[in-house]
A and B are shown apart, each in its own frame.
Chain A
Amino acid sequence: MSSCAIPSFTIRMEGASVAEFSWPPRSPLEHALVAGAYGVREVAPGIFLTEVRNFELIQVMARRGKGAELASATTARFGMAAPDVPKAVSASDVMLIWSGPDQFLVLSKGGKYTINTLSQAFSQSASLSDQSHARAWISVSGAKARTMLAKLSSIDLHPTAFPIGAAAATSIDHTSVNLWRGDDGPDGQAVFNLLLFATFAGSLWQTMLDAGAEYGVDIRHSEEFA
């Protein structure tokens, strides 16, 4: 989600006028996302496209020679190790997603693992970067999800090649994304998650709608941390 300043002006009698800014988070898809049906409507939707809003996303990068320290700090903080291969692991309130050698993403519900709550734990071993408002999080599921994504991604997303918990740093439509497969949905279908750069989110969103139109798309947004 990107932030947008809404200035509210307060005139102070005794001094100069002071502009006070509040920064309510807004989704980069706020205008592009129209909840409801898209594409063919004669059939049950083959694709469920959900934007998940209100999350914390912190990039953690190990400092030089500090891999072992980071590993123990991670286990101490989250009770699980960060993946050192392209995978995503999760607990009830947090996901650790591999994003490259010596680095991973900490994804949690808004207000949970903020950069302030993590900076102390990793101060000796890693550099942190707050990406919470720099990405849009899209979840793609449904019977035709993999078929639709196959039009955009060169990665093999077949269950044998991309099982639950698999993750990838890859490109879709020439744009870098983080992609991972979460737990299957209640309908038994695979759920693919994408983190998109906020400024590219509108473009990639439209690309996914175009790719999915022929299967029927059900569009939603949610604040539920999956």
Chain B
Amino acid sequence: MRIVCPFCGERELGEFSYLGDAKPVRPAAGAPEDDVFDYVYLRDNIAGAMSEHWYHAGGCRAWLKITRNTLTHEISSVEPAAGAGAAEVGA
């Protein structure tokens, strides 16, 4: 498996580390305990296209948001995660 880093170009899997599901959103402060439990522990076990966070640890050290098909490993999109390249966008 190879990943095309938007900053570095195409690199081998070994340069990246996997965080996991990019979908969960941190609940607001004071949210019910169940919401926090869901956010921290519960994950969908997706068979198909999944949005994931990856880290180019052995390269440019940018966080990436990747859409990967868990059945085929086909990657359909790679983009900088929020904050990566922040000097340009000011995000």
Min CB–CB distance A178 → chain B (angstroms): 10
Q: Tell whether, in the assembled complex, residue A101 and residue B62 are in contact, meaning their CB atoms are under 8 Å apart.
A: yes
In the bound assembly, the distance between CA atoms of A7 and B57 in angstroms comes to 38
- With a cutoff of 8 Å between Cβ atoms, the chain A residues found around residue B11 in the complex are 154-155, 170
- With a cutoff of 8 Å between Cβ atoms, the chain B residues found around residue A168 in the complex are 8, 59
Known A64-B91, A100-B62; further 19 A-B contacts with Cβ < 8 A: A62-B87, A64-B86, A65-B86, A70-B87, A86-B8, A100-B60, A101-B62, A101-B80, A101-B85, A101-B87, A154-B11, A169-B8, A169-B60, A169-B61, A171-B15, A171-B58, A171-B59, A174-B58, A176-B58
Q: Tell whether, in the assembled complex, residue B60 and residue A99 are in contact, meaning their CB atoms are under 8 Å apart.
A: yes
A and B contact pairs by CB, cutoff 8 A, 24 listed: A62-B87, A63-B87, A64-B86, A65-B86, A65-B87, A65-B89, A66-B87, A67-B87, A67-B88, A86-B9, A99-B60, A100-B62, A101-B62, A101-B80, A101-B85, A102-B87, A154-B11, A154-B14, A155-B11, A169-B59, A169-B60, A170-B11, A171-B58, A176-B58
- With a cutoff of 8 Å between Cβ atoms, the chain A residues found around residue B85 in the complex are 101-102
Contact-size category for B: 20 to 34
Q: Tell whether, in the assembled complex, residue A65 and residue B90 are in contact, meaning their CB atoms are under 8 Å apart.
A: yes
